Structure 1
Amino acid sequence: MKEISTTDVLAKMNAGEALHLIDVRTPQEVAEGHIEGIDNIPLHLLEAKLPDLNKQTPYILVCRSSARSGQATQFLTDMGYDATNMVGGMLAWEGPVK
Structure 2
Amino acid sequence: MEDIQSEEFSNILQTNKQDTFILDVREELEFHTFNVGGTNIPLGKMQKLLEDDDLEIPEDKVIIVVCQRGIRSKTAKTLLNNFGFKNVRNLEGGLLKLQRIL
Runs of 4+ in 1 over 6 A off after TM superposition: none
TM-score by length of 1: 0.84
Deviations 1:34-61 (A, max 9, x none): 21x2100000111343431233222000
The structure with the greater share of residues assigned to strand is 1
Match of 1:85 among 90, 96, 99: 90
Contact 2:28 / 2:40 at 8 angstroms: preserved in 1? yes
Count of matched residue positions in the alignment of Structure 1 and Structure 2: 95
Q: Normalization by structure 2: what TM-score? A: 0.81
Q: Give me the whole-angstrom Cα distance separating, in 2, the residues matched to 1:46 and 1:79.
A: 11
Say if 2:70 is the partner of 1:63: no
Question: Could you tell me which amino acid in structure 2 is paired with residue 56 of structure 1?
Answer: D
Paired position in structure 1 for 2:76 = 72
RMSD: 1.8
Give, in angstroms, the shift of residue 2 of structure 1. Answer: 2.2
Distance 2:47 2:60 in 1: 17
Where do 5+ consecutive residues of structure 2 fail to align? none
2:30 aligned partner: 29
